[in-house]
Structure 1
Amino acid sequence: MADTEVTLPRPVGVPVRSPQGRRILVATVLGASIAGIDTSVVTVTLPDIGRDFGASFASLQWTVTGYTLSLASLILLAGGLGDRYGRRRIFLVGVTVFTLASVLCAIVPDIGSLVSARILQGIGGAFMAPASMAILQSTITPDDRPRAIGTWSGFAGIAGVLAPFVGGWLLALGSWRWIFLINVPVAVIVLLVTVRHVPETRDGRASRMDWGGSALAVVALAAASYALTGLPVNPRDPWAVTSVGVAIAAALGFVWWERRTASPMLPALLMKCRPFVTINVITFIVYGAFGVFSLIFTIALETVSGYSPTKAGSALLPITVISLLLAPSSGKLAARIGPGLQLAVGPALCGVAALMALQVNPDTSYWGVVIPLECVFGLGIAAMVAPLTAVALSSAPDERAGVASAVNNAVARGGGLLWIAALPPIVGLTGSSYTRSEAFLPGYRLICVICAVAFVVSGTIAAAVFRSHAPCDRRVLLAHPMPHPLCR
């Protein structure tokens, strides 16, 4: 029987060093990577897109937040769909939708059409992201999962960092439109490897889908994003003011619905687990700060320092190299000593790097400023990403792997979405400010300080909560109807 027809019985799994295990890792890593690539690659091309379409800074924000909005809003639902209908099946759907949307992004005639295509891309990404991690969690042998998760985290993360360099190179060759077409050959490889070598897994006890909760989540995030983008520019904008009320009502409605529906997308058991809740608070802060910092730092190198897109993108390569080398070992170390130390030190290093970025000016030294701060950032990311992901997953039963991964992904994407929507207009980065150094630099520096503080706060929370115990034991969560004492 072909391995594509096999559904793995528990607790049997595939060793990560076996031929099939390596192919599973390739498929999931590449799938998660193309979702991350476009998040990063668009950043380095924003000035060119803006000039090409004559777009405002708010419109450019929506090319980023439109993608993140649909991804963050639907990722919980997609995780549940994977648990019920099959993680491989949902993963394949996501890759297909994402690829088709990428082609649309490459041929759009105006900024509005680009935002719409990016929203469709986000839908595909929402199906890919939780499914890729859930496939690893449900197919790889338990002993090999820390190594697999570390490798997945490292490669998926560095793909998003490598993307700006590739985007800059493609811009030098021709148009920004080529950056979206680079997804197509990678997606073809992912589809072929997944169909041929990845076994199907699902939760036979999965219940009905929570369509009501998903709809409320979409409305809440969309309204909040619109309000955060519009209010700092015009506090009296009636649409923005109305969006505040809609966002609050939808958020409260989501909480009410999740407490009463028979099949909530956000299980109460997960929300009673202290490590799971804490790690998602940390995720929101870290990924929010990292998202907005990546956006404005890349633009600053081009607008303030006069770097070409290729040079601005290549400045991020140290993060790629360091994460590539250290992420697998980081996952193994966290499995041996617990996540606390790395979750405290990693964000602190990122905070230091954010403060180092204050040195960016019209004469910024590539080797004296940019490369050192990116090396520090790379060390911070390598230290914290693998244990952060491992805690989020190990705090949930294997049968809830898709939902746990989806929650953590949704929090990460939602953090980036809201921070990117809110901070630039709050600090005065509006209109065409991204095209003029003297208008961009003050807001840029304020965001660097805010991000540094946020990183330090998240590391402090991690040090306080995870200093004395490991993540919740999945077997305890499965055996007892009430949360483990550590999860109260």
Structure 2
Amino acid sequence: MTASQPSAYESASVRWLTLISICVATFLMPLNMSSVNVALPAIAADLSADAVLVSWIPTMNLLGAIALQLPAGRIADMIGRKRVFLSGLLLFTLSSLAVIIIDSIGWLLLVRLLQGISGAMIFGTGMAIVSQVFANHGRGMALGLTSTSVYLGLTCGPPIGGWLTEWWDWHAVFLAPLPLAIICALLVWRHVHETERQADERLDWIGSLLFIAASSLFFVGLAELPTINGGLLALCGLLLLAGFVYQQEHSPHPLIRLRRMVQNKIFFRSIQACFFMYAANYPLQFLLSLYLQYIRGLSPAEAGQLMLLQAMMMALLAPFAGRLSDHFEPRIPATLGCLMFAAGFLILAMLDQDSGNMHVIIALLVMGTGFGLFSSPNNNSALSAVPTEKLSIGSSLLNISRTLGNMLGMAVVVFLFNIMLGNERITPEQYPALMNLLKLAFVLCCGYALMAGWRSWSRGKVR
């Protein structure tokens, strides 16, 4: 469903300035994420962190994003998307500044948790704002450009993170994006118009707390498997999640009516496809960073420059794919993208310690093309099936499927590290075990991508 365009956005110049404001922020979040991944070996050495604690650095970012995603979207629909968006930018800025005084891995993990929460606030409102502003003016193309800003952040992150780590130290990776965050806040404050408050709506505090507790316990439990404590935490998380589902069906002001979401075939299968694709994609940079720097012996800058190829292809293709989805069935380019992404993981699964750079380059180009074809059409399909007054919660659900996928993909990787490497620092003696772990992870990610292709095609026709 699409509602009429707000009068404030009838002007093309206002629409594009609004889009630029959102794109700056959606560039900033993945820039921070991907640049930190390249700095992981340097962080491990400086803070004396073992392999499992290092794997928690990207994982804590996911934990913060998943726990606050639904409440943030609901609050944005109630009090205004602009307010929540700017609050997320402020939290990101303050948490990034905190690295100046950090001297232990524990405090760094707390910073990553706060940055994940800020990402939930930004991504939970950003796509909703763009979708509303461009509802009658090429929504697919606008969402494609928003996706491009994400991929540009992923593209610039690895080389910037590598250069900053080599020339200064890992602290600079957190501090460098702050000027951009300030510019973004000014652009949003100046050009984005606030949505109307919904005076008759209330935040479901019980549901919010249930969801935060359920997602956090399940996430931490998965990461701690196969220990007994990990199994108990995951089980408690599942029980609380069941309680959340029951409570939402009986709450007068629920975060989401799950039954209605499942009945919306196009939206539900779009978020399922998103879930599996991001489960495959999120661990990729982490795994390749370890392969290129530990096994191949590349510097952080060299590894970052090589890894940017995938995101570069994604950035180039996302607007084109979004434009296609404005005129043709979104499931066609989206499903083709899933299959290409799976093929890229099969290529990576054939890596060994003596593989050349060209092997990695071919895989990354294929995967970048695949994800570029998938993302914008899938987002356009999902948000086209959501009423305008529910765009923030729809955007949050789309992002929560992405984050849940990220969580699953990274939790499985952390589980593999616990089983195959343990609480030891990565040394040359462990390189054969690390190589086996990487191959297994790539095969699992290929399976996730194939599942995404199945759900993408089965959503049916949008038009």
Alignment TM class, shorter chain as reference: over 0.9
Q: Is the 8 A contact 1:30 1:156 kept in 2?
A: no
The 1:57–1:317 alpha-carbon spacing in structure 2 relative to 1, beyond 3 Å, is same
Work out whether 1:470 is the aligned partner of 2:447: no
Among candidates 132, 136, 156, match of residue 138 of structure 1: 132
Which secondary structure state, in structure 2, belongs to the residue aligned with residue 335 of structure 1? helix
Alpha-carbon distance between aligned partners in 1 of 2:152 and 2:176, rounded to the nearest angstrom: 16
Work out whether 1:267 is the aligned partner of 2:261: no
Alignment match, 1:414: 404
Work out whether 1:345 is the aligned partner of 2:345: no
The 1:106–1:343 alpha-carbon spacing in structure 2 relative to 1, beyond 3 Å, is farther
Alignment match, 2:422: 430
Shift in Å, 1:165: 1.5
Which secondary structure state, in structure 1, belongs to the residue aligned with residue 255 of structure 2? coil
Shift in Å, 1:356: 1.3
AA partner of residue 460 (structure 1):
W
Structure-to-structure mapping, 1:44-63, within 5 angstroms: 44-63=38-57
**Range that drifts further, 437-446 or 100-109:** 100-109
Alpha-carbon distance between aligned partners in 1 of 2:217 and 2:292, rounded to the nearest angstrom: 31
Shift in Å, 1:251: 0.9
Among candidates 164, 172, 177, match of residue 170 of structure 1: 164
Q: Is the 8 A contact 2:6 2:133 kept in 1?
A: no
Alpha-carbon distance between aligned partners in 2 of 1:334 and 1:131, rounded to the nearest angstrom: 22
Alpha-carbon distance between aligned partners in 2 of 1:407 and 1:332, rounded to the nearest angstrom: 23
Work out whether 1:216 is the aligned partner of 2:210: yes
Alignment match, 1:458: 452
Alpha-carbon distance between aligned partners in 1 of 2:385 and 2:135, rounded to the nearest angstrom: 17
Alpha-carbon distance between aligned partners in 2 of 1:45 and 1:224, rounded to the nearest angstrom: 28
Structure-to-structure mapping, 1:361-440, within 5 angstroms: 361-366=352-357, 368-426=358-416, 428-432=420-424, 434-436=426-428, 437-440=431-434
Work out whether 1:277 is the aligned partner of 2:272: no
Alignment match, 1:93: 87
TM-score (norm 1): 0.89
Alpha-carbon distance between aligned partners in 2 of 1:451 and 1:15, rounded to the nearest angstrom: 43
Alignment match, 1:448: 442
Alignment match, 2:301: 310
Alpha-carbon distance between aligned partners in 1 of 2:304 and 2:115, rounded to the nearest angstrom: 22
Work out whether 1:250 is the aligned partner of 2:240: yes
Alpha-carbon distance between aligned partners in 2 of 1:161 and 1:319, rounded to the nearest angstrom: 8
Alpha-carbon distance between aligned partners in 2 of 1:124 and 1:286, rounded to the nearest angstrom: 23
Q: Is the 8 A contact 1:139 1:199 kept in 2?
A: no
Alpha-carbon distance between aligned partners in 1 of 2:326 and 2:308, rounded to the nearest angstrom: 27
Alpha-carbon distance between aligned partners in 2 of 1:428 and 1:253, rounded to the nearest angstrom: 35
Shift in Å, 1:457: 2.1
Shift in Å, 1:203: 5.6
Alignment match, 1:3: none
The 1:112–1:330 alpha-carbon spacing in structure 2 relative to 1, beyond 3 Å, is same
Which secondary structure state, in structure 1, belongs to the residue aligned with residue 9 of structure 2? coil
Structure 1 gap segments, 5+ residues each: 1-7, 472-488
Shift in Å, 1:241: 3.3
Identity %: 27
AA partner of residue 9 (structure 2):
V
Alpha-carbon distance between aligned partners in 2 of 1:375 and 1:244, rounded to the nearest angstrom: 37
Alpha-carbon distance between aligned partners in 1 of 2:8 and 2:329, rounded to the nearest angstrom: 24
Among candidates 11, 17, 20, match of residue 23 of structure 1: 17
Alpha-carbon distance between aligned partners in 2 of 1:146 and 1:283, rounded to the nearest angstrom: 16
AA partner of residue 247 (structure 2):
W
Query: C-alpha deviations, 1:47-103, integer Å up to 9, x for none?
Result: 111121121222122211211111111111111111111111111110011111111
Q: Is the 8 A contact 1:158 1:319 kept in 2?
A: no
AA partner of residue 247 (structure 1):
G
Query: C-alpha deviations, 1:184-239, integer Å up to 9, x for none?
Result: 0110110111111111123636611122222112212221222222223xx3x4x3
AA partner of residue 337 (structure 1):
F
Work out whether 1:325 is the aligned partner of 2:327: no
Shift in Å, 1:12: 3.6
Alpha-carbon distance between aligned partners in 1 of 2:331 and 2:58, rounded to the nearest angstrom: 32
Q: Is the 8 A contact 1:345 1:380 kept in 2?
A: yes
Which secondary structure state, in structure 2, belongs to the residue aligned with residue 316 of structure 1? helix
Alignment match, 1:482: none
Shift in Å, 1:339: 1.1
The 1:106–1:319 alpha-carbon spacing in structure 2 relative to 1, beyond 3 Å, is farther
Structure 2 gap segments, 5+ residues each: none
**Range that drifts further, 36-45 or 191-200:** 36-45
The 1:140–1:375 alpha-carbon spacing in structure 2 relative to 1, beyond 3 Å, is same
Q: Is the 8 A contact 1:47 1:435 kept in 2?
A: no
AA partner of residue 470 (structure 1):
V
The 1:338–1:9 alpha-carbon spacing in structure 2 relative to 1, beyond 3 Å, is closer
Shift in Å, 1:9: 7.9
Shift in Å, 1:242: 2.6
Query: C-alpha deviations, 1:451-478, integer Å up to 9, x for none?
Result: 1122122112222333xx116xxxxxxx
Alpha-carbon distance between aligned partners in 2 of 1:37 and 1:215, rounded to the nearest angstrom: 30
The 1:362–1:393 alpha-carbon spacing in structure 2 relative to 1, beyond 3 Å, is same
* Cα root mean square deviation, aligned: 2.0
Alignment match, 1:14: 9
Q: State the number of aligned residues.
A: 456
Shift in Å, 1:380: 0.6
Shift in Å, 1:279: 1.2
Which secondary structure state, in structure 2, belongs to the residue aligned with residue 265 of structure 1? coil
